[in-house]
Each structure stands twice: as structure tokens, then as C-alpha cells.
């Protein structure tokens, strides 16, 4: 592009020097300038799009007017930068939360899609944290500010985007070398040709030679190369991932091995019940109702999941009200069990108790008359040490283990009556995503702290052959080094301090925003939504970036070759041999102008492809290569002949 600028200046100086301002010379000069302008515009536009991402984030909160609550209870409107930490602000329905803080009064539905990408509003109340940029969908809240405007979430993210550096990746450096080599070769060929023609006694004016020269320079990929890289960063920001370096995106496109943590990446990370197993002579309904009653006061994720599952199966015992007011024992790491001490309802004037439907009458009256009845769920080993286990207890536990599930024992009175199997369910579509990785030639590893049998079962369900079970932090780090020593490019996902060594060592380290500061410092990418499965999207984006660059480079070079054989025969039309090679049958002046018009216009035509990227579907590298050669290579050879001929005809008609 720099040589194109020099060519424009030389052409301009030539006209002033010989005082010849013919339409032909002016056209060449203007078209060379247009090539420079379009090339500069491609870079400027992509840089502008990147800046918009950061500035639009800042506008979300910086332009707001904040209701600050004064000590006397009155309200005053102030700009966000006038609010200090510990100040209390009021945010009403349909208003943006301007600063990070904690709710001190009120309950509201809050849309956090700007932050999390999740479109469904969440209900937040007193002591819940709120993040700047979120929107109050209903009701109102009073928020105690914890961070000033410049320390808020929105400013931190905008700062990360603005500080993103874009050093050139390896493929970009190699492409540069190729472009420099071609430019040097073409410069030598064109100016040697110009000198030779003039020595033979034929007149070849400088503007014509410069027009021919600019047509052959790899201006297309030269103009679009920077735009491709910058737009890659922008597309990454659009999926809520911030890259500390543009080089990391390109590395993502070259990934050979990806280490996927099981929990949160392959599985949801929340155990869900999948099966109820009655023991002894008990029925599934008895176990289900006892499980419901033991969980009705359980506020843990697991307890809520059990209630949802049982409700979906219509297991709703009539004793719910009594269970709610019964004394409850919470789960703890020490006891590893939770449940209620159910006290049946005493009927007025009678010394009898209401019979629970799920317990046999003889057991109820014979053992627990006038006593509180324990209804518990918990770890099988703990429950077995407290309650009486039926003969088939161990056998059923083994079956659950073979299926990769986690068992919970359910007991009523002094007896274990059944089991519930919990599983960390697979994320929706994860199997297809794993297959997509494998189809791209990427080798996935599942990393987990689980027992080898459980880990292998989960891995087989999603089609992963390589498993690192009972993994410690040093195991992840060693695996990264081991694979890199084989010349492979590695991606690693993590969120904890113990993941930091592997994140720092991996070619692409994706840290969760919700993770520790150490992990975020070690990684070269940060996912603002804290979704570990995002690594798959990052890899696809990296592949798209490389394919876009490779395809446009192939097209550009094929174009230059075609333009060489379009313009050169016209340039050498004084030779009889050259006349037979002039397949377009265009006069020299028309051929040069038409080629320059095509050369200038092809840059803005291809700019949307450079910025949006070529549509990418997971395929084998061999297939991608063949498609690029056929579409962009062959297309790049044929298109200039057709386009320049049509432009030439239009010029002659006009």
C-alpha cells in the first residue's frame, strides 16, 4: 500500500512535470489514489467498529442521571462520577443501574443481558449484588454503591477492550513475507520491462507503467489484512470474550488439543435426579414421597432439583404442610445428610396420630408412637451407619456407580427404603460440539477430579476418548507441557488459582470472569459470561479468522496473476506474439484503465467478507483447503478476465 501511495505521487508529479493533463493520465492518477483510499478505509472502518464496542459500553452508564439518597432521606440528581462508594442510590423500573453495588432495600426483576448474555431477568433482593449496565425491569431497588464509576464493571470491561494489543500472529507474519516477496519480484519485473521496452525504441509513458505496476501489486490482501485481524477481535467481543492479545485469536485457529474441564464445560455442573430406586418391599411411590418430604425445606441447588423432578413426576404427598413446620436438619460436610423430624398431627381429644400414607400402619404405631419420625436423605455410607439397610442396598449402589451416577439414600424411621440416582447432566448440544471439534482435527481431553469409572462413563457419552481423571493442578500443567513438546497448540479453560499455571502455559488460556484474579492475569482471554464451553466458540472464531485470511490471500494472488496476463499482452501489443495472447482484445489505454477500476473496486467489494468473516462450518482441514483453492483460487483467476472485459466494453461505449 505504501508503494501504491508512492505510485500516486509519481503519477501526479509526472503530469505537472510534462504539463500534460489528459483524461487518460488523470484517470490513472485518480484510480491509483482510489486504490489507496479504499485500502485505508478498510483499516479505518474496522478500527472504528472496535472503538465503538468500548465507547458504547461507556455510554451505557456515563450519560445517566443518578438518584442519590441523602442522609435526611431526600433525593438529588447527580452524574454517576459524583457518586462515591457507600452512597445509596435509587433505581426505578426501566432504568439502567449506573454503578456496581449491593441492594439494601426493595425487590426487583433485573435484566443482566449486557453482562451475562442471558436474556431472562433475574429476581434480586436485599444483600444481592447488582452490576452496572443491568436494567431494572420491574419495581425499584435502593443500592449501596460499592465501586465508583471508574472502578465499575462497565469501565473495567471497556478498559480491557481498549488495552487489547494486536501483535501479528505467525500466519500473518508468514503472509507478510509472501506479500513482500511478491512485491519485490513484481517491482523488479515491471520496471525491468519498462526499461527494456524503452530501449527497444517503443514509447511507454510513466503513468501507464505505474498503472500496470499498481494492478499487479497484492493491494487487495495488503488493504484487507489488518481489517481481518481487527474484525476478529470485534467478533470475539460480540460473544462476550475479551482477548488480551490478537495473537491469541489466531492461535485459537491452530489448536490441536483442547483440555475441557468436565464440570461446567461438558456437564451443567449441577446434579439432577434421574432415577428413583426402591429397596426391599418398598415401592417407588413410597420412596418418592419420603424424598419429597426430606427435601421440602432443603434450600440447596440439589434439594431444589429433587423437588422439581418429583413435581414433574406428580409425586406430591399430602403431608407437605406438616413437613414444612417440622424441625429440619440442614446438610453439612460433617453429617452429609439432611431431612426433617416429622411429627404427625394430633387429633383433638384423641390419643392417636394421623397415619402417613407412605408408611405401613404397623411400623408407624409400633415404633414411633408419640415420637418425631426422621425422614432423611444423605450419603449412602453415612445413612447405612445410622439406619438399617435392606439386603439389596449394596447391589443397587454398585449399579448406580457403573452408570456414572451419584446415589443418595432415603430413610424413614430406622430403615433405608430406597435410593435416588443423581447425575451431573450433559450440557445441551455438547456432544455435537465435541464432534465438531473432532471433525476439525482437534483432540479433546476431559479433565476432572472424578473417579476414573465415573469420568470414563461421562466421556463415552459425549464421544471423548482421552480422559484425565482425579486431576490435580500440576497434572493439567504437565499435560500442557507434554503436548506442546510434541509441537501441538493447546487450549485450556479454567477459573481458579490452581488453573493459573496451565492457563499461563497454554497457547490459548480462557479464564472465567467469575474466577480468581490470578487466573484472569495468567490467561490471554477472559469470558465475561463465565461459560467454560465458550472455548469451542473461540476455536471456531479462530478457525474462521485463519480461513478468511487464507481465502482472501489466495483470491488476491490469483487476481494478480490474472491481471498480469490481461494487461501485459496489451502492453506488448507492438509484438505480433503478444497480439495473439491478448484474449480480451482491449486497447492498451482501455486495458490499463479497466484493470485499475477493477483493482480499486475489488477492495470495498471484499471488505464485508473481511470484516464479517467467511462462513465457517466444522470440516476437515483437507476439505477446507480444497474448497478454498477451488472457490477463491479458481474464482480469483477467472473473475478479473470477465470483470475487466465488461468494464473495458463499458469504457469504450461511453
Band of the pLDDT at 646, cuts 50, 70, 90? very high
Of the chain, the percentage scoring pLDDT greater than 90 comes to: 14
Domains of the chain: 84-147 (2.70.150.10), 234-267+427-539 (3.40.50.1000), 270-426 (3.40.1110.10)
Residue 387, helix vs strand vs coil: coil
pLDDT, greater one: 64 or 415: 415
pLDDT exceeds 70 at position 498: no
Q: Which helix (H) or strand (E) holds 91?
A: strand 88-91
pLDDT at 598: 92
Give the C-alpha separation, 269 to 122, whole Å.
Answer: 20
pLDDT at 60: 59
pLDDT at 420: 94
Nearest-CA neighbor of 442 among 238, 623, 620, 216?
A: 620
pLDDT, greater one: 293 or 269: 293
pLDDT at 365: 32
Band of the pLDDT at 288, cuts 50, 70, 90? very high
pLDDT exceeds 80 at position 543: yes
pLDDT at 50: 58
How far, in whole angstroms, is CA 306 from its chain's centroid? 31
pLDDT exceeds 80 at position 16: yes
pLDDT exceeds 90 at position 393: yes
**636 close to 557: Cβ distance less than 8 angstroms:** yes
Band of the pLDDT at 597, cuts 50, 70, 90? very high
pLDDT, greater one: 573 or 44: 44
Mean pLDDT, to the nearest integer, of 213-241? 82
Number of helices (H) and strands (E) in the chain: give both, helices first.
Answer: 24, 22
Mean pLDDT, to the nearest integer, of 193-205? 78
Strands ordered across the beta sheet of 108-111:
122-124, 108-111, 135-139
- Active-site annotation holds for 363: no
pLDDT at 278: 94
pLDDT exceeds 60 at position 542: yes
Mean pLDDT, to the nearest integer, of 111-135? 73
Considering only 103-117, 302-316, 437-451, which range has the smallest mean pLDDT? 103-117
Band of the pLDDT at 643, cuts 50, 70, 90? very high
Q: What mean pLDDT value characterizes the chain?
A: 80
CB atoms within 10 A of CB 544: 21
**340 close to 297: Cβ distance less than 8 angstroms:** yes
Of the chain, the percentage scoring pLDDT greater than 70 comes to: 85
Give the C-alpha separation, 514 to 422, whole Å.
Answer: 26
Band of the pLDDT at 469, cuts 50, 70, 90? confident
Considering only 304-313, 374-383, 583-592, 636-645, which range has the smallest mean pLDDT? 583-592
- Please give the model's pTM, rounded to 2 decimal places: 0.62
Mean pLDDT, to the nearest integer, of 556-564? 87
Band of the pLDDT at 361, cuts 50, 70, 90? very low
CA distances from 6 to 9, 19, 29, 205 (A): 5, 20, 11, 17
pLDDT at 475: 82
Give the C-alpha separation, 366 to 355, whole Å.
Answer: 12
Give the C-alpha separation, 571 to 582, whole Å.
Answer: 9
pLDDT at 616: 73
Considering only 84-93, 282-291, 465-474, which range has the smallest mean pLDDT? 465-474
CA distances from 560 to 36, 137, 219, 385, 497 (A): 17, 56, 9, 81, 52
pLDDT, greater one: 55 or 505: 505
Is 96 exposed, middle or buried (CB count within 10 Å of its CB: 0-12, 13-18, 19+)? middle
Which is it for the CA torsion 99, 103, 108, 110, positive or negative? positive
H-assigned helices in 409-509: 430-439, 452-462, 473-484, 500-505
Tens digit of pLDDT for each residue in 53-98?
Answer: 556 556 656 667 888 888 888 888 888 888 888 889 999 888 888 8
Crossing angle of helices 219-238 and 246-253, rounded to 10°: 90
**17 close to 206: Cβ distance less than 8 angstroms:** no
pLDDT at 225: 80
First to last CA, the chain: 30
pLDDT exceeds 60 at position 115: no
Which residues, including other chains, have CB under 8 Å from residue 350's CB and lie 6 or more apart?
Answer: none
**129 close to 102: Cβ distance less than 8 angstroms:** yes
Give the C-alpha separation, 566 to 298, whole Å.
Answer: 79
Q: Which helix (H) or strand (E) holds 79?
A: none
Give the C-alpha separation, 188 to 101, whole Å.
Answer: 65
Q: Which of 261, 424, 537, 560 is catalytic?
A: 261
pLDDT exceeds 90 at position 417: yes
Cell of 593: 484503465
Cell of 294: 426430606
Cell of 243: 482477548
pLDDT, greater one: 621 or 91: 91
Give the C-alpha separation, 249 to 50, whole Å.
Answer: 15
Which residues, including other chains, have CB under 8 Å from residue 374's CB and lie 6 or more apart?
Answer: 339, 340, 341, 342, 411, 412, 413
pLDDT at 364: 36
CB atoms within 10 A of CB 561: 14
Mean pLDDT, to the nearest integer, of 163-181? 70
pLDDT at 102: 92
Nearest-CA neighbor of 425 among 452, 451, 462?
A: 462
pLDDT, greater one: 650 or 63: 650
Q: Which residue has the cell 480462557?
A: 510
pLDDT at 410: 95
Mean pLDDT, to the nearest integer, of 370-397? 87
Considering only 215-224, 510-519, 596-605, which range has the smallest mean pLDDT? 510-519
pLDDT exceeds 60 at position 116: no
Q: Which helix (H) or strand (E) holds 485?
A: none
Strands ordered across the beta sheet of 66-69:
75-78, 66-69, 88-91, 141-145, 101-105, 129-130
- DSSP characters for 492-542? EEE-SGGGHHHHHHSSEEEEETTS-HHHHHH-SEEETT--TTHHHHHHHHH
pLDDT, greater one: 153 or 118: 153
- DSSP characters for 285-336? HHHHHHHHHHHTT--SHHHHHHHHHHHHTT---TTHHHHHHSEEE---TTT-
What value does the CA radius of gyration of the chain take, rounded to a whole number of Å?
35
Amino acid at each position: 500500500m505504501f508503494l501504491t501511495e508512492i505510485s500516486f505521487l509519481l503519477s501526479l508529479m509526472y503530469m505537472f512535470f510534462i504539463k500534460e493533463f489528459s483524461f487518460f493520465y488523470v484517470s490513472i492518477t485518480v484510480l491509483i489514489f482510489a486504490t489507496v483510499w479504499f485500502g485505508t478505509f478498510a483499516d479505518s472502518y474496522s478500527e472504528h467498529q472496535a472503538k465503538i464496542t468500548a465507547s458504547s459500553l461507556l455510554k451505557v452508564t456515563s450519560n445517566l442521571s443518578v438518584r442519590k439518597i441523602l442522609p435526611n432521606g431526600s433525593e438529588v440528581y447527580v452524574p454517576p462520577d459524583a457518586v462515591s462508594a457507600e452512597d445509596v442510590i435509587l433505581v426505578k423500573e426501566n432504568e439502567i443501574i449506573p454503578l456496581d453495588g449491593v441492594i439494601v432495600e426493595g425487590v426487583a426483576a433485573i435484566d443482566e443481558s449486557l453482562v451475562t448474555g442471558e436474556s431472562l431477568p433475574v429476581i434480586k433482593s436485599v444483600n444481592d449484588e447488582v452490576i452496572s449496565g443491568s436494567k431494572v425491569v420491574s419495581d425499584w431497588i435502593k443500592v449501596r454503591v460499592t465501586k465508583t464509576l471508574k472502578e465499575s464493571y462497565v469501565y473495567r470491561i471497556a478498559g480491557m477492550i481498549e488495552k487489547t494489543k494486536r501483535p501479528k500472529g505467525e500466519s500473518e507474519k508468514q503472509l507478510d513475507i509472501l506479500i513482500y516477496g511478491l512485491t519485490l519480484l513484481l517491482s523488479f519485473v515491471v520496471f525491468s520491462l519498462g526499461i527494456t521496452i524503452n530501449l527497444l525504441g517503443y514509447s511507454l509513458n510513466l503513468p501507464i507503467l505505474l498503472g500496470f505496476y499498481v494492478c499487479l501489486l497484492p493491494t487487495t490482501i495488503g488493504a484487507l489484512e489488518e481489517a481481518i485481524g481487527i474484525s476478529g477481535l470485534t467478533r470475539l467481543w460480540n460473544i462476550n470474550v475479551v482477548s488480551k492479545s490478537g495473537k491469541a485469536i489466531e492461535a485459537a485457529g491452530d489448536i490441536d488439543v483442547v483440555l475441557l474441564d468436565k464440570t461446567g464445560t461438558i456437564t451443567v455442573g449441577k446434579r439432577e435426579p434421574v432415577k428413583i430406586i426402591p429397596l426391599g418391599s418398598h415401592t417407588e411411590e413410597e420412596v418418592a414421597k419420603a424424598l419429597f418430604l426430606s427435601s421440602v425445606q432443603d434450600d440447596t441447588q440439589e434439594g431444589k432439583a429433587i423437588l422439581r423432578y418429583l413435581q414433574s413426576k406428580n409425586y406430591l404427598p399430602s403431608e407437605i404442610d406438616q413437613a414444612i413446620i417440622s424441625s429440619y436438619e440442614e446438610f453439612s460436610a460433617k453429617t452429609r445428610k439432611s431431612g426433617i423430624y416429622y411429627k404427625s398431627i394430633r387429633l383433638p381429644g384423641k390419643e392417636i396420630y394421623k397415619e402417613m400414607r407412605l408408611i405401613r400402619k404397623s411400623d408407624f404405631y409400633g415404633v414411633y408412637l408419640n415420637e418425631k419420625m426422621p425422614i432423611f436423605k444423605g450419603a449412602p455410607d453415612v445413612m447405612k451407619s445410622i439406619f438399617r439397610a435392606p439386603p439389596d442396598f449394596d447391589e443397587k449402589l454398585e449399579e448406580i456407580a457403573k452408570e456414572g451416577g451419584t446415589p443418595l439414600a432415603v430413610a424413614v424411621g430406622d430403615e433405608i427404603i430406597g435410593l435416588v440416582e443423581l447425575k451431573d447432566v450433559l450440557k445441551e448440544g455438547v456432544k455435537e460440539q465435541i464432534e465438531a471439534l473432532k471433525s476439525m482435527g482437534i483432540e479433546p481431553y476431559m479433565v476432572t477430579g472424578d473417579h476414573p469409572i465415573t469420568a470414563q462413563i461421562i466421556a463415552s457419552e459425549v464421544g471423548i476418548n482421552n480422559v484425565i481423571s482425579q486431576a490435580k493442578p500440576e497434572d493439567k500443567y504437565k499435560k500442557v507441557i507434554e503436548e506442546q513438546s510434541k509441537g501441538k497448540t493447546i487450549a485450556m479453560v479454567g477459573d481458579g488459582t490452581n488453573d493459573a499455571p496451565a492457563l499461563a502455559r497454554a497457547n490459548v488460556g480462557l479464564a472465567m470472569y467469575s474466577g480468581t484474579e490470578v487466573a484472569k492475569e495468567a490467561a490471554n482471554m477472559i469470558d465475561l459470561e463465565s461459560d467454560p464451553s465458550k472455548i469451542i466458540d473461540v476455536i471456531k472464531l479462530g478457525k474462521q479468522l485463519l480461513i478468511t485470511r487464507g481465502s482472501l490471500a489466495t483470491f488476491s494472488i490469483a487476481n494478480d496473476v490474472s491481471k498480469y496476463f490481461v494487461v501485459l499482452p496489451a502492453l506488448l501489443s507492438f509484438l505480433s506474439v503478444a497480439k495473439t495472447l491478448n484474449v480480451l482484445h482491449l486497447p492498451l489505454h482501455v486495458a490499463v484503465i479497466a484493470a485499475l477500476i477493477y483493482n480499486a473496486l475489488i477492495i470495498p467489494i471484499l471488505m464485508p467478507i473481511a470484516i464479517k468473516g467467511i462462513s465457517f462450518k466444522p470440516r476437515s482441514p483437507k476439505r477446507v483447503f480444497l474448497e478454498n483453492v477451488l472457490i477463491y483460487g479458481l474464482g480469483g483467476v477467472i473473475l478479473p478476465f470477465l470483470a475487466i472485459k465488461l468494464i473495458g466494453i463499458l469504457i469504450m461505449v461511453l
